[in-house]
Structure 1
Amino acid sequence: MVTIYDIAKKTGFSITTVSRALNNYSDVSEKTKKLILQAVDEMGYYPNSIARTLTTKKSWTIGVIFVEDLGVGIMHPFFSAVIESFKKYVEKFGYDIIFLSRNVGGEEKSYIDHALHRGVDGVIIVCSHDDDPEVKKLIESPLQTVVIDLYSNKTSVVYSDNVNGSELAVQYLHSLGHRKIAHIYGHQKTMAGVERLKGFLSVVEKLQLNIPDSYIKDGSFFSVDGGMQAMSELLELGDPPTAVFAAGDAMAIGAMKAVEAAGLRVPEDVSIVGFDDIELAQYVTPALTTIRQNTDLIGQSAAEVLLKQINNKNKVFSAVTIPVELMVRESARPLKPE
C-alpha cells in the first residue's frame, strides 16, 4: 500500500510538506501542491481515514445541504455540476462528502443537529433562497460554511456575476438590431432571479430602450413550464417582442416550445437567449445562445474557501463573484429590416 512516505520520496518534498499540501494549507505553494497531487493520482495513495482522524482531530467529511424549489433535487443541472466540481476538488485533499437532510435515524432534526451528529468539518450549502429558517440558523452558526448562489453577510458565498450576464445577453440582442426585447425572469425569492432582472432593467436603461411592463414576464421557479407560459403571454400581445432574454435555460427552452406551438420559428420569428449553459442547451434545436456559468470554477472556488476555513479553524465572511460569458449559438439572429 502506498504511504505518505512514498509520496515524499517520489516528489522530493519532506513528509511535513506533503502532509500540509494534502491538507491544503496556505503556506504551501500552488506549484508544490500540484506536483504532490499529481503524484497522489499516479501512485493511487489513499490515506487511512481512522488514523488521520485520530491524528488531526478532523472527521475528513464535508456536509452538503441542497435546497431548491423545482422538485428535481440533485438532478438540477446547474447545482449538480457545481457539486460535482466541489466534490472532485475536496477529494484531492482527502475529504469525503455526505448529504445532510432534516432526518436523522427517522427523527426530524435541524441541519445543525445533523451536521453535529455526523461530525462534519464544514458544510457547503446549495440553496436557491434564504427563506428556510434552518438554513439561516446553520449559516449563522460557528460551523464553517460556504453558500452557493445566495448572498449572505453571515458566511462566505460564491456566485456568478448575474447582473453582468444579463447585460451581455441584452447587449448582444441589441447588437443584432433588436429593440423590442422582453425578459422572462426567475422567482424573485432567489438571488439569481433578482440579480438577473436587475441587470436587464439596468442595461435597458443604458441603451435607452422603451420596454413596456408587458414585456417583463414571470417564469416562476426557472422551469420549462414557466418559460412556456410566459412566452405564450408575450406572443399574445398586440405588439410582441422580436427577442426574448430568459433568466434560465429551462425557461428559454420552454419559450422555444411555446414559439413552435404558436406556428412560429426560432430565430426566424423570435430570437431567444438563455442563462446558465446547461448541457442540454447545445443539443436543443436550434442550439441555444446563452450566458455560461462556470460551474467548474464555482465548485472549486467554494471548495478552496471552505477548506481554508477548516484548516484555519476560523469562519470567514467573504464573497467570490465568478465571471460569466456569452455562448453564441443558433437561437438568435439579426433582425430583418421591415
Structure 2
Amino acid sequence: MVTIYDIAKRSGYSITTVSKVLNNYKNVSEKAIKAVQEAIDELGYTPNSSARTLATNKSWMIGVVFAEHLGVGIAHPFFSEVIEGFKKHVELYNYDLLFVSRHMGLQEETYKHLKHRGVDGVVVVQSFGEDLIGGENSPIPAVYIDMPLKQPGSVYSDNRHGSSLAVNYLTELGHERIAHIMGDQTNFAGEERAIGFLKAMEKKGLVVPEHYLVNGGFFSYEGGREAMIRLLALSERPTAVVVAGDIMALGAIKVIKEAGLRVPEDISIVGFDDIALAKHVDPPLTTIRQDKDLIGRQAAIILLNKINGDQDSSSRVVPVQLIKRGSCQLIRG
C-alpha cells in the first residue's frame, strides 16, 4: 500500500509538504505541488479516508439541506443543476456530500444531525425561516443558495434584473397589457422577481392593474395553471405574461392551449430559470436564464473558504440572461 512516505521519497519533498499538498494548503509552491502530484500519479496513491480524517481533524464531508416548500429537493431541475455545479467543485478538493432528508428542513433536529455526523460545512438550498444551521455562533460553516442572510453568506441570481429584462423585451414587441404570475411572496426569489417586474413596468410608464398580479404559489406546474385560469377569466386579458418560474410557465401555456388560444399569437409568455425542458416544449420557451452551474460553484468557493477559516460572509449575486425563443411575438397593429 502506497503511503505519503513513498510520495515524499519519490517527489523529493518532505512529508509535511506532501501532507500540505494532499490537504490543499495555500502556502505551497507550484513547483512542489506539481512534483507531489506527479509522484501521486506514478505511484497510484489513493488516500485512506479514515487516516485522512484523523490526520486533518476533518470529516471531508459537506451536508446538503433542502429547505423548500415544494418538498421535491434535488428532483427540481433548478436545484439539481445547482447542486451538480457545487458537487463538481468540492470534489476537486476531495469532499463528499451528505444529503439530509428533505423532510427535516431547517429544524433543530437538522442541526443536531449534522453536528452528530461531524460535517465540515453545510450548503442550504432555497432556504426560508429561521437559520438554525449557520448562525453567528454555530460551529458549522454554512452557505445559503437563493436566500440572502447577513451572517453565513449566500449566493443568488439577480432576480430583479431578470424581471426587468423580461418586461423590456415584451414592451419592445409592443406589449402594454403585461401580467405577472408571481412566486409566493414569502419566498425570496418570488418577492424579488415581483419587485423587479413592478419597477420595470413603472419605468416604462405602464399601469399594472391589481388583478394582473397573480400568486402562483411555490413555483409548481399546478400553481402556474391556476394562476393562468384566473388571468384568462378577466374581461380584458393580458397580451403577455411574465412568469416567475419555468415550471409555472409550462402550466400556464397548457391552460392557454386548453382554452383554444395560442402561444404566442394570442398571449406571449416569458419564464424564469431556463430549465433543460424549456427549449423542447411547444413553443420553445423564452425565459430568463439563471447560471445554475456558476451559482453552485460560487457557493462551493464561499463554503470551502469558510471551512479553511475565511469568515467573509458577503453575498454573491449571479448575473442572468434573456433567452429568446418562440413563446413571444410582436403585437400586430
Which band: TM-score by shorter chain?
0.7 to 0.9
3-state DSSP of counterpart to 1:98: strand
1:334 aligned partner: 330
Asked if residue 98 in structure 1 is aligned to residue 94 in structure 2, the reply is no
Local SS of the residue matching 2:265: coil
Q: Kindly tell me: are residues 128 and 53 of structure 1, through their superposed partners in 2, closer, same or farther at Cα, counting changes over 3 Å?
A: closer
**Does the residue aligned with 1:290 lie in a helix, a strand or coil?**
strand
In structure 1, C-alpha distance between the alignment counterparts of 2:303 and 2:221, rounded to whole Å: 33
Matched residue of 2:272: which SS?
A: strand
Residue 333 of structure 1 deviates from its aligned partner by 1.3
Structure 1: how far apart are the matches of 2:38 and 2:200? Answer: 45
The amino acid across from 1:206 in the alignment is K
Q: Aligned-pair distance for 1:320?
A: 0.6
Partner of 1:245: 242
Kept in 2: contact 1:252–1:274 (CA 8 A): yes
2:115 maps to which residue?
A: 116
Give the alignment's Cα RMSD to 1 decimal: 3.2
Q: Is the 8 A contact 1:143 1:315 kept in 2?
A: no
Are the structure 2 counterparts of residues 202 and 103 from structure 1 closer, same or farther at C-alpha, using a change threshold of 3 Å? Answer: closer
Is 1:75 equivalent to 2:106 in the alignment?
no
Distance 2:171 2:181 in 1: 17
Matches within 5 A, 1:135-174: 136-140=131-135, 141-174=138-171
CA distance in 2, matches of 1:301, 1:37: 26
Segments of 5+ residues of structure 1 without an aligned counterpart are: none
Shift of 1:139: 2.4
Does the CA contact (< 8 Å) of 1:63 and 1:120 recur in 2? yes
CA distance in 2, matches of 1:48, 1:24: 16
- Give runs of aligned pairs for residues 168-183 of structure 1, distance below 5 A: 168-183=165-180
Amino acid at match of 1:139: G
Does residue 1:47 correspond to 2:47, yes or no? yes
Q: Which residues of structure 2 form unaligned runs of 5+?
A: none
- The alpha-carbon deviation at position 23 of structure 1 amounts to 3.9
Aligned AA (1:97): L
What is residue 235 of structure 1 aligned with on the other side? Answer: 232
Q: Which moved more, 1:117-126 or 1:11-20?
A: 11-20
Aligned to 1:216: 213
- TM-score of the superposition, structure 1-length normalised? 0.87
Per-residue CA distance 1:214-259 (angstroms, 9 max, x = gap)? 1111101111111111111111111111110000001111110111
In the alignment, structure 1 residue 198 sits paired with structure 2 residue 195: yes
Classify 1:19/1:308 alpha carbon distance in 2 versus 1 (closer, same or farther; 3 Å). farther
Tell me, in whole angstroms, the C-alpha distance in 1 between the residues paired with 2:241 and 2:81: 26
CA offset at residue 113 of structure 1? Answer: 0.9
Match of 1:89 in 2: 89
Aligned partners of 2:242 and 2:269 also within 8 Å: yes
Which secondary structure does the structure 1 equivalent of 2:149 belong to? coil
- Once the 2 structures are TM-superposed, how far is the Cα of residue 85 of structure 1 from its aligned partner? 1.3
Return the alpha-carbon distance in structure 2 between the equivalents of residues 311 and 123 of structure 1: 13
Q: Which amino acid aligns with 1:94?
A: N
Distance 1:262 1:32 in 2: 68
User: Identity of paired residues, percent?
Assistant: 55
Distance 1:284 1:34 in 2: 48
**Contact residue 286 and residue 330 of structure 1 kept, 8 A:** yes
User: What's the secondary structure of 1:137's corresponding residue?
Assistant: coil
Classify 1:28/1:271 alpha carbon distance in 2 versus 1 (closer, same or farther; 3 Å).
Answer: farther
Secondary structure at the counterpart of residue 205 of structure 1? helix
SS at match of 2:148: coil
CA distance in 2, matches of 1:30, 1:222: 47
Tell me the CA shift for residue 71 of structure 1: 2.8
The yes-or-no answer on 1:56 pairing with 2:56 is yes
TM-superposed CA distance for 1:18, in Å, is 6.7
User: What is the DSSP-based 3-state SS (H/G/I as helix, E as strand, rest coil) of the residue aligned with 1:281?
Assistant: helix
- Counterpart of 2:318 (choices 317, 322, 333) is 322
Deviation at 1:22, TM superposition (A): 5.2
What's the CA shift string for 1:90-144, capped at 9, x where partnerless?
111111110124999xxx9612211111011011111342x2x4xx121212310
Q: Is the 8 A contact 2:133 2:140 kept in 1?
A: yes
Preserved contact between residue 148 and residue 157 of structure 1 (Cα < 8 Å) = yes
Taking structure 1 as reference, are residues 139 and 266 closer, same or farther at Cα in structure 2, changes over 3 Å only? same
**Aligned residues of 1:102 and 1:109 also touching (Cα < 8 A):** no
Summarize the Cα distance change of 1:265–1:102 in structure 2 as closer, same or farther, 3 Å threshold: closer
Number of residue pairs the alignment of both structures matches: 329
Aligned to 1:138, the other structure's residue is in SS state coil
The AA in structure 2 aligned to 1:208 is G
* Paired letter, 2:132: K
Change (3 A) 1:154 1:183: same
Counterpart of 1:139 in 2: which secondary structure?
Answer: coil
